[in-house]
Amino acid sequence: QVQLVQSGAEVKKPGASVKVSCKASGDTFSGYYIHWVRQAPGQGPEWMGWINPNSGDTNYAQKFQGRVTMTRDTSISTAYIELSRLRSDDTAVYYCTTESSRSFDYWGQGTLVTVSS
Amino acid sequence: DIQMTQSPSSLSASVGDRVTITCRASQNINTYLNWYQQTPGKAPQILIHDASMMQGGVPSRFSGSGSGTYFTLTISTLLPEDFATYYCQQCYSYPWTFGQGTKVEIK
């Protein structure tokens, strides 16, 4: 059983960066990959990438290469996603989720990021 | 990228109805297909993995089938708590991609 608690909502201006955190509890932090998935208003989810908390290895969707950075701090069981050069179409709810056998089983509550001038 | 196309995009049904949602992949994904249920304001929740394997705790009225490029999610007897949006997702190759969703509404 894993609980994922994300940081609060953010409002950013175009061109700025945002960093969202995801704190895990209840199980071994390094035991599962953490993925980030976002969902724009009224749209389906969109996969952004994953981080292996054990090694720090990452795999980003090509669409976000150069703008996204996923990191982790194992001492506090927390994963982070930072997205830079924000645009209005980055407005979305950002979720962290754990992977089990190629599916997403535990999810954070989501963090709304609003990009507006 | 593999495109996932769901149909219909929305449907109206009554409690007790049998409902089937389809999902087509733009290329062969074997059985690397998951189904999720999402209610407003909540994160998606896994229902089915590997096209037909029920996640633990999911009611038996949900079932999945298919392989290759064609998949279905069936709800045998619709209950009030099943009115939600359903998404398919391929995990065959990166980037993992989702369908656009099927909203099941009350008739």
Q: Which tens digits make up the pLDDT trace of A34-47?
A: 999 999 999 999 99
CB contact under 8 A, B43 and A110: yes
Beta bridge partners of A51: A34, A58
Mean pLDDT of chain A: 95
Mean per-residue pLDDT for A61-89? 97
pLDDT value of residue A30: 78
CB contact under 8 A, A104 and B44: yes
- Residue A91: Cβ within 10 Å count: 17
Proportion of chain B above pLDDT 70, given as a percent: 100
pLDDT value of residue A67: 98
Tell me phi and psi for residue A51, to 5 degrees. Answer: -130, 140
pLDDT value of residue B9: 97
Q: Which residues of A touch B (CB under 8 A)?
A: 43-47, 59, 61-63, 95, 97, 101-105, 107-110
Tens digit of pLDDT at every position of chain B (107 positions): 999 999 999 999 999 999 999 999 999 999 999 999 999 999 999 999 999 999 999 999 999 999 999 999 999 999 999 999 999 999 999 999 999 999 999 88
Mean per-residue pLDDT for A67-79? 96
Tokens of B93: 């190759």
CB contact under 8 A, B55 and A47: no
CB contact under 8 A, B49 and A102: yes
Per-residue CA distances from A90 to A11, A39, B81, B87 (Å): 11, 9, 31, 21
CB contact under 8 A, A102 and B91: yes
Please say if the pLDDT value at position A7 is more than 80: yes
Q: How far is B88 from chain A (nearest CA, A)?
A: 10
Q: Which residues of A touch B43 (CB under 8 A)?
A: 95, 97, 107-110
Closest CA to A103 of B70, B98, B84, B26: B98
Q: Which residues of A touch B32 (CB under 8 A)?
A: 102
Mean per-residue pLDDT for A77-105? 96
